[in-house]
Amino acid sequence: MSTVAAATAIPTTSAASSAAAGLGKGLGKDDFLKLLVAQLQNQDPLDPSDPTEFTAQLAQYSSLEQQFTTNEYLAKMATPDANMERVSALGMIGHGVVVEKSSFTLGSDPVGLGFKLDQAASNVNLMVKNSSGEYVGLVPVGAQDAGSRFFTWDGKGLNGETLPPGDYTLEVSAMNGDEAVVATPRLKGWVTGVDLNGQGSVLVTSVGDVPMLDVKRVDL
């Protein structure tokens, strides 16, 4: 009797070690099935597995297999969407885009500075800060109706000097009398290229790199 017990204990320990190693890497459906078969092969003949417990393990395996199948199906569905996004991004080259962001890159060309107002404002100012947080540019545009507006900024500073190329930030101050009006900064630039990285398509524009999700409008 003791000989039988010793013989069954050795493969059972080996199977447990293999299962533990599989858990370290993440248990897949094949590992789960191997573990189930090893359990059947190495069970004690004098004390076989409970049929109810075995049925529950089979149900777990079936559920695990369905989950893997679902994940594979979803991954296949995501691939065409990613390809369509890349095609759409490439089709934007040479077109103007409106993006909802405040940071931009100033080059040698004028920049389209804009905003979206939730309601009409009696006085609106577009203020530009440099990378050090200093206010270096101002575009007063006066009273504006609700909606989106854009104004061309020639890159000139407060004293009329041409500002150096670099990174800048747009701030919009909108007032209706003494009441502040919600104003969302927007920029307008031209798409010159596309960066097809692993995190999604990024447009290379005249105002800097812009994720596709930030694009609010495309101008032909």
CA dihedral in degrees (69, 74, 77, 79; nearest 10)? -110
The residue among 96, 65, 50, 40 whose CA lies nearest residue 218 is: 96
| Cβ-contact 23, 62 below 8 angstroms | no
pLDDT attached to residue 14? 46
Helices 51-91 and 29-41, axial angle in degrees (round to 10): 170
Please count the residues of the chain.
220
Half-sphere exposure of 161 (CA within 13 A, CB side): 5
Counting as low any pLDDT under 70, the low residues of the chain are 1-29, 31-33, 36, 40, 43-83, 85, 198-199, 220
Q: Phi and psi (nearest 5°) for 24?
A: -65, -30
Question: Rounded to whole angstroms, how far apart are CA atoms 183 and 159?
Answer: 26
| Cβ-contact 151, 114 below 8 angstroms | yes
Alpha-carbon torsion 118, 120, 121, 124, what sign? positive
pLDDT attached to residue 37? 73
Question: Rounded to whole angstroms, how far apart are CA atoms 192 and 203?
Answer: 8
Question: Rounded to whole angstroms, how far apart are CA atoms 219 and 210?
Answer: 15
